[in-house]
Structure 1
Amino acid sequence: MLPTPESSSLLKTALQGHRRWLKVLIAFSAAINLLALTPSIYMMQVYDRVLSSQSQSTLLALTALVVGLYILAGMLEHHRVATLTRIGNTLEQEFSARLHTAAFQRALKTQGKDNTGQAIRDFSAIRQFMTSQGAIALFDTPWVLFYIALLFAFHPLFGLMALCCVAISITLSWLHLRSTRPFEEQTNALGILSANTMNSTLQNADSIQAMGMLPTVQTEWLSIQKEQTNHHTGSADASSVWTNSSKYFRMFVQSAALGLGAYLVLNQSLSGGMMIAASILMGKALAPVDMLSSAAKALTGTRQAYERLNKLLNNSPQTRELTELPTPKPVIECRNMYLAAPLSGLWLLKNILLQIPAGSTVGVIGPSGSGKTSLLHALAGILPIAQGRLEIDGADIAQYPRSQLGAWTGYLAQHVELFEGTVAQNIGRFEHNNDEHIVQAAMAAGVHELVLKLPKGYNTPLGAQGEGLSGGMRQRIGLARALYKKPQLLLLDEPNAHLDEAGEAALANALVQHQQHGNTAIVVTHKKSILRVCNKLLVLRDGEVSVYGNTHEVLTHLQQQPPTQLTRVKNA
């Protein structure tokens, strides 16, 4: 998969693709705001025509007309919200897969240390805002000028009053947003930190309990919570000041408008109906500004979510599909290969020169931090090669589509990750109609009989991380998943770390069978017992190849070295 160029603002580009629907929304908003004149016109007609003529038929006709207009306005409001919802649905369809891929790519780069799940929550926040009163206020705000023009038409004093009141209301809204934004930004950031800290605590509950760390861990989390609460309180206090100021200012405006209208009526410059209508229009002119003020918190949160999503998407360029190559033979060659840590840029592997022919079972040993797991990450395509080449059957690994290599590769991580689903789904990589391959993989891993003893056999549901299974059982199910559909390349990172004697025997048998079919396996281990089935041995030190060759020759070489130079190999 190769990166493809993208715009600096993917979400903005996507929204621009819905201009036709935005025009429809503008048309709906125009009709709704024109229909909002209904109560003002009705009051004018009642006061200036019905009351003076004492005509009940006129009143009934006007009332019937008003009821119809209200029904029409309600229908238009419904369709406006429905259109916004449909735009959100379309954006979700367009972006869900892209967002999932971007979050996944980010998780690969950070090795799961970043809160990439926040992207989904951010997109949900944007969707929710699209159908909120704050978004609707954005479409209604331009009509404030229309209402002011009408008030000028009623009387210049009403127009001037409306201008002043709108200016004051906008100022109050700006002060509201400015005073709460710093608190809201800190509250949101601390909320994310608090959630991450809590998740980390729950994921490591056994270690925390064993070492009595709960009080200190809890104190750390409570300090974050306290700081978040302080910022939230500051935001709430500031918001209360400006919200109440706006509320009572609106009440004053309504009274002032009636007072001004009464003054003009007394001076015979205005009719009684126009006095009531002007008061209603004054409220309509201020309503969108007030709604934006009330949505200040949501606006801040949505803006932050928008910025985070743009940053994520732009840092994870979309890839295009590569041409599928012929199924490769499990022949691997590293030519001056370098691998760098995604965040720090430090070298994980340096100048790796390595040739692994088909049918090899390579044991990889070395001290902690020597680059064993990093080598598997390179071979599995988890991390990109920084310099040099990594070739599979003569072609650079970057030329193979990930889906093709994924089906060709079996991978077992150092920390086995099982997913929400059944045992069968975990072994079968969530593919469908593959029962035969699932059972074959389980039998190859020596876990078939153990699975049958589970409450529902292969249909036994597993919780997150294989909850309810022992470490050895999780590892053997993970091995079965790696052996699913007999991959030609097997990458195992300490596959016997949690296995008992029977489990190690099953693992050794699986490796022997894998090798007999001419396939290649690379096994990272700290236990010497598994080396018996390895025909080659690789010793890494400080990210470089220290020794590589036939297992017997390498072990003999290591035994002849001074004790300080020996690579630590733990006995089973």
Structure 2
Amino acid sequence: MDAAALRRLLELRGQRVSLTDVQRALEQAGEPQFAGGSEALSALSAALGSLGTEKVRLAATRAEMLSERHLPALVEYQGRTWVLAEARGPRRLLDSGEGSTREVEAADLDQAFAIWFDRPAHAEERDRNGTRHSAARLLAGALAVRGRILVEVALATLLTSLLAVAISLFALQVYDRVIPSFSHATLHALAGVVGVLIVFDFVLRLVRARLLDRVSAEVDEEVSATVFRALIGVRLDARPGKVGTLAAQVAGLESARAFFASSVLFTIAEVPFALLFIAIIAFIAGPIAWFYGALALGALVAGLAAYAKLDSLSREQLEAGFRRNGLLVESIQGAETIKALGATWRFSERWREATKEIAAMSLRARTAMVGAATVAQSLASIAYVAVVVMGVYLVESGSLTVGALIACTMLGARVIGPIANGVALITQAQQAAQSLRAVDAVLDLPPEREHGVALLSPASLGHELVVEGARFCYGNVPVPQLDVPALRIAEGERVVLLGPPGSGKSTLLKILSGLYRPSQGRMLLGGVDVALLDPELVRRHVGYLPQDVQLFRGTLRENLDLEGTVSDDLLLQVVRELGLDALVRDHPRGLDREIFEGGSGLSGGQRQMAGIARLLLRRPSVLLLDEPTGALDHMFEARALRAIVNCLGPRDTFMLATHRTAALPLASRVIVVQQGRIVLDGEPGRVLKVLQAHGERAGQCAAPNAAVPA
């Protein structure tokens, strides 16, 4: 698959992405090929998803089958990938994606393989320019795409319901015709036919369950991927501080998906047939049908009453569940601290109180749900007794036969089932709705890629960093944590950032990296506002290393090369430069040694070295490091700094926040930050003299600086 052609296709559909991003997306998807069949389409779909192209289904066919509405499309012609851009009568316009086009006869493409987007470009444009997707719309859209399967499910339900009518008619015939004459031949014939129908019903139910499972799995995969991309794409400065709560909100999608993909489908398919059965009962036994009609109406009222009662209760229960899940995540992450400080009892008590609160709410919700179900069951029993009593009088009057009465009671059982399921569905709908609202809260968080904004992705970008009138506030705190009226880091500068804890050093680095956006003002990279640049482009140019290095479950190799694009030669070179080769050599699996969640099993220094290696492997042109050697001894600190310097080119920009003196000789400029403001900025020698002149105050601002002259 040619990256240039795919980029051109997306451009024609109104989505601007860089060629490098497309190449990376195709590499990560396993380089899908035209001849790869459904696996290639799945891989290409994954690549498009990583590029921000959502809700697009791919389809493959021969180029001769395409019409105007399918264009633009990808087509394989003469051994390479082209964009089939236009149909000009008997001729077709092909675009290489590299600035050249050519016209060919339509007949030349008769046997060519083509891939097209099974979704109009203008519809996709509406999605980008309109409101963001809600969870309900995502689920509805995913189900609508699979409408054919759902129609097959409805057809299977229709046939199984008709088989229920056949069994009721079998009972009617046996009681009214076979028993009076003891006609064994008729009995055996009827039993044989019904036996075949029962086998058919068995097969249909299995097929229906299989189809629903397939729909459920596909919907889960599609919607979950969309929600996960939205979660990952949230701006870091807009993300809620409660990680456990955020995780629980996303997990709520599972229950909502199960509700819509199975419960709703079954009930929606069966309820109409319950009404059909009532009509058949009315045809057979007349007034008896009124009892089942009253049953349906009474059950509906009970379900709606429970739904209203569960409205506020479900919301409170969901929020309490989020809080408890946050406590669980927090306790697991901080288990060492909790045990070391003897605070186990405190967290156990908080867990007990949270569980008690949820249990009380669950009991109230369960009471409402059980109440509605009990009312429906009681009404069903009353309806059955009333039908039998009424039926006796009708049989006595000769207007109804015994067989017809039995058939009506059997059909009545098929009426009661969907109605009871409908009542349960109404009560469950409230919980599903609350789960969807929780997912909506995630989807509503501000994304890095604003909808309807064509982000810039220039082929070349300068390395200069400029901050203009920047102020930053965390969350809803009105007091700014950082206030920088103006700051310029020239291309090729080496800057060391000093300041006491909480002074704003880390916040400044996050803003310079583009991970955080200023609450006021702007940050420019290479003369362009970062808010207008494609985030992936910014990540390639700007490398940021946070204080706390996060390692992920997998191998050491996977953690060092998260993108999976680094050669083994470069990987080994960086590992040796940093001294990580001992970590590799001391383990029998080398670079494939297993890393547990959060880097458990590695020391703080080893995790920090892994973070530095991860950054150097990316070879960014701007390096921003936040206390990169805080957990290292002097020998490894010197080694790490030497490796960082060796990685820098003459035009590369470098900024390091530290409280240690080892990095000061690398600096061409020192900036001192205090209380969110830049208080000193200049050549290292001059800044250090000013700090020393302030005596004790200098010790508070940059404690290690007193040792610099030695």
State the TM-score, normalizing by the size of structure 2: 0.74
| Aligned-partner Cα distance in 1 for 2:493–2:700 | 22
| Aligned with residue 163 of structure 2, among 12, 17, 35 | 35
Contact 1:257–1:282 at 8 Å: present in 2 too?
no
- Number of the residue aligned with 1:153: 283
Conservation of the 8 A alpha-carbon contact between 2:215 and 2:261: no
**CA–CA separation in structure 2 for the residues paired with 1:222 and 1:58:** 67
Deviation of 1:340 after TM superposition, in Å, equals 3.8
Q: For residues 516 and 165 of structure 1, do their structure 2 counterparts lie closer, same or farther at Cα, with a shift above 3 Å needed?
A: closer
For 2:592, the aligned partner's letter is N
- 1:371, CA displacement in angstroms? 1.9
Q: Which of 173, 183, 188 does residue 45 from structure 1 map onto?
A: 173
Aligned to 2:487: 354
**Mapped partners of 1:85, 1:356: distance in 2:** 57
Question: Who is 2:410 aligned against?
Answer: 280
Q: 1:144 — aligned with what?
A: 274
Per-residue Cα deviation, 1:20-45 (whole angstroms, up to 9, x for no partner): 33444444443333333122111111
> Aligned partners of 1:236 and 1:228: how far apart in 2?
12
Q: Secondary structure of 1:116's partner? A: helix
User: AA paired with 1:356?
Assistant: I
Q: 1:84 aligns with which of 184, 188, 212?
A: 212
Determine whether 1:306 maps to 2:430: no
2:187 & 2:302 partners in 1: Cα distance?
Answer: 41
> Which residues in structure 2 correspond to 1:265-344 (within 5 Å)?
265-295=395-425, 298-316=428-446, 319=450, 322-344=455-477
Percent identical residues: 24
Tell me how far 1:554 sits from its aligned partner.
Answer: 1.5
Q: State the alpha-carbon separation in 2 of the partners of residues 552 and 467 from structure 1.
A: 41
Instruction: For residue 285 of structure 1, give the secondary structure of its aligned residue in structure 2.
Output: helix
Equivalent residue, structure 2, for 1:257: 387
User: What amino acid does structure 2 have at the position aligned with 1:104?
Assistant: I
Task: String of CA shifts for 1:196-253, please: whole Å, max 9, x gaps.
Answer: 1021012112222222222122212211111112222333444444434433442343
Q: Is the 8 A contact 1:409 1:482 kept in 2?
A: no
Indicate the residue corresponding to 2:337 in structure 1. Answer: 207
Unpaired runs of at least 5, structure 1: none
Gaps of 5+ in 2: 1-16, 18-51, 53-126
Whether contact under 8 Å (1:122, 1:305) holds in the other structure is yes
| Structure 1 position 450, deviation (Å) | 3.4
2: CA distance between counterparts of 1:415 and 1:521? Answer: 19
State the alpha-carbon separation in 2 of the partners of residues 504 and 545 from structure 1.
27
The verdict on how the C-alpha distance between 1:388 and 1:176 changes in structure 2, with shifts beyond 3 A counting, is closer
Structure 1 stretch 263-272 or stretch 550-559: which is displaced more?
550-559
Post-superposition Cα deviations, 1:262-303, rounded to whole Å, max 9, x if no partner, equal 221111110111100111222222221201333455433322
1:71 maps to what in 2?
Answer: 199
CA distances 1:415-471 after superposition (whole Å, capped 9, x unpaired): 111111111111112415632222222233332333322343211111011111111
Code of the aligned partner of 1:18: V
2:571 aligned with 1:438: yes
Partner of 1:166: 296
**SS at 1:370's partner residue?**
coil
The corresponding residue for 1:366 is 499
**Structure 2 residue 545 is matched with structure 1 residue 391:** no
Aligned counterpart in structure 1 of residue 653 of structure 2, from 502, 510, 520? 520
1:377 counterpart residue number: 510
1:403 aligns with 536
1:106/1:116 contact within 8 Å kept: no
Change (3 A) 1:514 1:9: closer
Is structure 2 residue 361 aligned with structure 1 residue 231? yes
Residues 1:131 and 1:96: Cα distance change in structure 2 (over 3 Å): closer
Deviates more, 1:181-190 or 1:165-174: 181-190
- How far 1:358 moved relative to its partner? 2.6
Larger displacement relative to structure 2 (214-223 or 135-144):
135-144
2:663 is paired with a residue of what secondary structure? helix
Q: What is aligned with 1:5?
A: 129
Relative distance call for 1:111 and 1:502 in structure 2 (3 A) is: farther
**Is this contact kept in 1: 2:216–2:262, CA < 8 A?**
no
1:18 corresponds to which residue? Answer: 145
- For the Cα contact (< 8 Å) 1:201–1:217, is it kept in 2? yes
> Structure 1 residues 93, 203: closer, same or farther in 2, change over 3 A?
closer
Residues of 2 paired with 1:182 and 1:40: CA distance?
A: 44
SS at match of 1:98: helix
8 Å contact from structure 1 (residues 352, 545) kept in 2? no
Deviation of residue 113 (structure 1)?
A: 2.8
Separation in structure 1 between the aligned mates of residue 484 and residue 490 of structure 2, nearest angstrom = 19
Q: Deviations over 1:509-550 (max 9, x none)?
A: 123324464422211112233223222111123323222222
Check the 8 A contact 1:329/1:393 in 2, yes or no.
Answer: yes
Residue identity matched to 1:282: G
Q: What is the CA distance between 1:397 and its match in structure 2?
A: 2.1
Other-structure match for 1:471: 604
Alpha-carbon contact 2:318-2:435 (below 8 Å) kept: no
SS in 2 for 1:37: helix
Is it true that 1:110 corresponds to 2:234 in the alignment?
Answer: no
Q: Is the 8 A contact 1:110 1:343 kept in 2?
A: no
Deviation larger for 510-519 or 353-362:
510-519
Greater relative CO (CA pairs within 8 A, separation 6+): 1
Q: Partner amino acid for 2:635?
A: A
Q: Structure 2: how far apart are the matches of 1:328 and 1:448?
A: 35
Q: Secondary structure at the match of 1:315?
A: coil
Task: Give the partner amino acid of 1:100.
Answer: F
Worse-matched range after superposition: 313-322 or 469-478? 313-322
Tell me if 1:509 matches 2:636: no
Single out whichever of 241-250 and 372-381 deviates more from structure 2.
Answer: 241-250
Aligned counterpart, 1:538: 671
AA at the equivalent of 1:491: L
CA contact (8 A) 2:504 2:675 kept: yes
Q: Residues 62 and 107 from structure 1, CA distance in 2 versus in 1: closer, same or farther, beyond 3 angstroms?
A: farther
**Aligned-pair Cα RMSD in Å:** 2.9
Q: Counterpart in 1 of 2:226?
A: 98
Higher mean alpha-carbon deviation, 182-191 vs 351-360, is at 182-191
